[in-house]
Amino acid sequence: MALRSRQLSATEHVRNVLDRLAADTCNAVIALDAERALAAAAERDAELARGDWRGPLHGVAVGVKDLIDVVGLPTRAGSDVLADAPPATADAPVVARLREAGALIVAKLHTHEFAYGPTGDVAATGPARNPHDPSRITGGSSSGSAAAVGAGHLPLALGTDTGASVRTPAALCGVVGLKPAFGVLPTDGSFPLSESLDHIGVLAPDVHAASVAWDVLSRADGTGGGIQAPGVNGVRVGLLTDEYWRALDPAITKAVEAAAARLQARGAQLQEVSTPMIDELAATYPVIVGAEAYATHAQWLAERPEDYQPITRERLLPFADQPARAYVDAMRTRRRLTAAFRAAVADLDVLLLPTTRLRATPIGAAEVEVGGIDVAVRPQLLALTLPFNLTGWPAASVPGEVADGGLPAGVQIVGVRLEERGVLRVAGALARD
């Protein structure tokens, strides 16, 4: 808006963003593309001066997770394995769509190594740091995207999400993250982690910005929000009752309860629902992602194991011995239990649940104490998001109300009968008045 009304030129906006990114203390930035961004900003300004407006992303600075190709820059995927990667020869289609809409690509952003982890503290360039507490993780794997948006550096960033990787860092950094339905956005030009689970997604400071980005990326005409009912009156919201879905951090539970109360106050119908198949469904995830990731990395693991971060290598190597049967069985179970899950929630429009079981944990901590018990961090940051990579349903994380005023807590909205715009509409209803 400020850009269109020329209160701020694209050039000024990009200069501000570049200055902020250059001074970033979250370790969110892998590379700046200052010269080209400024040149493009000048073009966008010239267009605007002659009345040519490309739409709401005209002149808007965007960051891209360093797992996604941006022409002219290497894609290093957070790994020394790709330290010498040549510059990408083309933009990934999602990047190209943003550029066509007038967006200015300003930076490549930090990623957990090869996107294989939900913490963001394992990468060739060191850990990303949470903008709310630099001693804590950002979540991952879209660590730099969440941190840069959460720090206020950027109004929009692209990420990828294979089990958590847009929604979990969004939750931990206090921003909005959208993972669309599987297959809706092309993943070409993005380094694969697990092709049957990989999604491209967006991170933004608020639901409105995420919606604008979604319209551009999905090539909608941008009127979807206008012609749909704007509220949530009558929307059927499922609350999952199984132990599996419970957060460990009471602040997260309270944030979800507050979100439910808010939706109900705005006319949504809350309905409790049980999904007894969730444990067995979730158990297919590590088998599937392990097999697909190992197949990608097998040759490099054999030829240059020392170029991996040790924890990444140690997580991948056991899959060398995984039999094909385990993978085929897991894919069959996944299909069968996705259908069962769908049937269990079939009459709901969305599900409302925590994004993660924990808030941002200390950098490097594999375990944390919760109520006197040591729990492994990684599973708690994956458990509530990965089911919707297995099912392929659209899901968004939005910042919840944090009663204790502490670190951000994410509230997740998953589309069952609603698609991405509907999910964002429900998310929008959660925004503070």
43 Cβ neighbours under 8 A, 6+ residues apart: none
Residue for token pair 């490099």: 300
Contact between 295 and its own copies by CB under 8 A: the answer reads yes
Please report how close the Cβ of residue 308 comes to its own copies at its closest, in angstroms. Answer: 17
Contact between 24 and its own copies by CB under 8 A: the answer reads no
Closest to its own copies by CB, 202 or 390: 390
108 is catalytic: no
CB–CB of 121/26 below 8 Å?
no
165 is catalytic: yes
Contact between 365 and its own copies by CB under 8 A: the answer reads no
Q: Tokens standing for 210?
A: 């995420």
- Between 211 and 250, how does the x/- string for binding to its own copies read (CB under 8 A)? ----------------------------------------
Closest to its own copies by CB, 335 or 417: 335
Distances (CA, A) of 233 to 266, 348, 398, 426: 6, 14, 19, 10
Contact between 308 and its own copies by CB under 8 A: the answer reads no
Which of 43, 311, 322, 402 is in the footprint of its own copies by CB under 8 A? 322
Please give the radius of gyration of the chain, using alpha carbons only, rounded to the nearest integer.
20
Please report how close the Cβ of residue 290 comes to its own copies at its closest, in angstroms. Answer: 8
**Choices 104-112, 167-175, 286-294, 386-394; region in contact with its own copies by CB under 8 A:** 286-294
CA distance 386 to 323: 23
Contact between 303 and its own copies by CB under 8 A: the answer reads no
Catalytic member of 141, 142, 145, 190? 141
Catalytic member of 165, 190, 194, 397? 165
- Between 326 and 355, how does the x/- string for binding to its own copies read (CB under 8 A)? xxxx--x-----------------------
Which of 321, 374, 404, 433 is in the footprint of its own copies by CB under 8 A? 321
**Residues pairing with 130 in the sheet:** 133
Length of the chain, in residues:
433
Q: What is the DSSP letter of 88?
A: B
Q: What is the DSSP letter of 367?
A: E
Closest to its own copies by CB, 269 or 322: 322
CB–CB of 267/231 below 8 Å?
yes
Give, to the nearest 10 degrees, the angle between helix 420-429 and helix 207-217. 170
Contact between 317 and its own copies by CB under 8 A: the answer reads no
Contact between 121 and its own copies by CB under 8 A: the answer reads no
Distances (CA, A) of 307 to 84, 300, 312, 313: 11, 9, 10, 9
Which of 116, 191, 214, 319 is in the footprint of its own copies by CB under 8 A? 319
Catalytic member of 65, 142, 190, 194? 65
Number of residues forming the site for its own copies (CB under 8 A): 19
CB–CB of 37/106 below 8 Å?
yes
Type and span of the H or E element at 272: strand 269-273
274 is catalytic: no
Q: Classify residue 38 by burial, with Cβ atoms within 10 Å: 0-12, 13-18, 19+.
A: middle
| Interface with its own copies (CB under 8 A) | 195, 290-292, 294-295, 298, 319-329, 332
The residues that are catalytic are: 65, 141, 165
